[in-house]
Amino acid sequence: MPLSPEQLAEIDELRATPKPTLRAVSEGMEAHLYKAIPVLDHGFVRVIDYMGDDAAICQAARVSYGKGTKSVSNDEGLIRYLMRHWHSTPFEMCEIKLHVKLPVFVARQWIRHRTANVNEYSARYSILDREFYIPEAQHIAAQSTVNNQGRGEALTGDEAARVLEILKSDAARCYDNYEAMISQDGQQGLARELARMNLPANIYTQWYWKVDLHNLFHFLRLRADAHAQYEIRVYADEICKVVADWVPAAYSAFEDYRMGGANLSGKAIDCIRRMVKGEAVTQEVSGMSKGEWREFEALLKD
Q: Say whether 223 is catalytic.
A: yes
Q: Which of 108, 114, 151, 223 is catalytic?
A: 223
Query: Cα-flanking dihedrals φ and ψ of residue 118, to 5°?
Result: -130, 135
Rounded CA-CA distance 136/187 in Å is 39
**Which positions are catalytic?**
223
